Amino acid sequence: MDIVDPWGSSIIDYDKLTKQFGIKAFKDVLDDIPSPSKLMTRGIIFGQRDYDKIAKALNDNKEFATVTGMMPSGRMHIGHKMVVDQLKWYQKMGSDIYLSIADMESYAARGITKEQSRRLALEEYIVNYIALGLDVDDEKFHIYLQSENDEVKNLAYTIGKKVTFSQMRSIYGFDNSTNISHIYTPLVQVADILHPQLEEYGGPRPVVVPVGPDQDPHIRLTRDLAAKFYDEYGFIEPSATFHRFMTGLTGEKMSSSKPKTAIYLTDTVKEATKKVNSAKTGGRDSLKEQKELGGRPDECSVYELLVYHLIDDDKQLEDIKNKCINGEILCGNCKQCANKHLTTMFEKLEDKRSQAMEIAKNLLTNE
């Protein structure tokens, strides 16, 4: 069995992934979703498990929850914005939002202390989440550090009774050198996802977890454990959606630890636009070839930026794509267009971030 490694590998073969692991196509449920988001209609969210339950809750105006987590371990880049966009959409649709700061996982897997996690989560992530428009004052919004949430920790301990080391090893690829805390952290993540269904958090109801496909092992384990603990807690097996990773500016996966691949949300406008100017595109080697053969938008990191984050209007996007394929525009035109939108976005972000810090600090004070 192939292992999907949630702590490292980059997965880009989405077809293989859906076939091998049984993730269903998101387009199968798209028509059942009221006002789907751009990430959904543009196929950036490509897969799902059990999304029918969420579609039903959306249509019937029933309670459901959205759960996500952040592992504070580096700088937030523009690819991470996708999660925020999804949370904002679910918030608009009336969902409870649970945001776990995975400080226990950060400690076990990366050696980052709890205090470092708190600071990183606040200064790098939460500030940007707020600046990007997530409403943290909404009464349905909940945020916590794993290490400070006793219900989550207790639930993790309880559900651990029905998992064996051999299961954990086959799902995550743990070996004899893996530290025990690291082996335990997936159970805390399972508890992150299941705890909104505890009676004190509103009881059993549908839950959706928007993730990248590298997180599927957690989803499968969580669904398995939800079923095993149905008699005790009445858990409904959580649903999940899977979104594509952004291609980095160099052509590989965008990564916080590889500065050349990523546009960080805290980059200055000058830094961000400079990165776009040197980004790998799907353009040809010469202008003559580009005009004759056309470009390859499907292999272009600049076009991806436009699709994922910068252009709202589907018609405008289609126009750019067609002109690219027909050799009617050049990569310089697209980079200029991307930089115009990026400049507007980053100036707004910078402005909002300065107000967001105070709000963020108050969110994680436990005095």
Binding site for ligand SF4 (CB under 6 A): 281-283, 295-297, 300, 302-303, 324, 329-331, 334
Give min distance, CB of 323 to ligand SF4, in A.
Answer: 7
- The secondary structure of 48-111 as a DSSP string is EESTHHHHHHHHHT---EEEEEE--SS--BGGGHHHHHHHHHHHHTT-EEEEEE-HHHHHHHH-
- Name the residue nearer to ligand SF4 (CB basis): 58 or 302: 302
Cβ partners under 8 Å of residue 262, min gap 6: 75, 77, 78, 79, 248, 249, 254, 255, 256
Counting DSSP H helices and E strands in the chain, the numbers are: 18, 7
Give min distance, CB of 289 to ligand SF4, in A.
Answer: 12
Distance of CA 221 to the CA centre of its chain: 19
Give min distance, CB of 127 to ligand SF4, in A.
Answer: 31
Give min distance, CB of 261 to ligand SF4, in A.
Answer: 17
C-alpha distance from residue 183 to each of 21, 100, 131, 171, 351 (Å): 22, 18, 35, 11, 41
Give min distance, CB of 44 to ligand SF4, in A.
Answer: 16
- Name the residue nearer to ligand SF4 (CB basis): 23 or 300: 300
Q: Decide the pairing of beta strands 96-101 and 65-70.
A: parallel
* CB-count burial class (<10 Å; 0-12, 13-18, 19+) for 104: buried
Give min distance, CB of 293 to ligand SF4, in A.
Answer: 11
Give the up-direction half-sphere exposure of residue 33: CA atoms within 13 A in the CB hemisphere.
19
Give min distance, CB of 190 to ligand SF4, in A.
Answer: 41
**Phi, psi of 229, rounded to the nearest 5 degrees:** -105, 20
Burial 310-332 (b: 16+ CB within 10 A, else e): bbeeeeebeebbebbbebebbbe
- Name the residue nearer to ligand SF4 (CB basis): 170 or 336: 336
Q: Residue 319: which H helix or E strand, with range?
A: helix 314-325
Distance of CA 62 to the CA centre of its chain: 24
Give min distance, CB of 302 to ligand SF4, in A.
Answer: 4
Q: What's the first-to-final CA gap in the chain, in angstroms? A: 47
- The residue written with tokens 């996708």 in the block is 82
Give min distance, CB of 52 to ligand SF4, in A.
Answer: 36
- Name the residue nearer to ligand SF4 (CB basis): 86 or 339: 339
Give min distance, CB of 249 to ligand SF4, in A.
Answer: 12
Question: With left for phi above 0 and alpha for psi between -120 and 50, is residue 227 left, alpha or beta?
Answer: alpha
Distance separating alpha carbons of residues 290 and 80, to the nearest angstrom:
32
- Name the residue nearer to ligand SF4 (CB basis): 239 or 273: 273
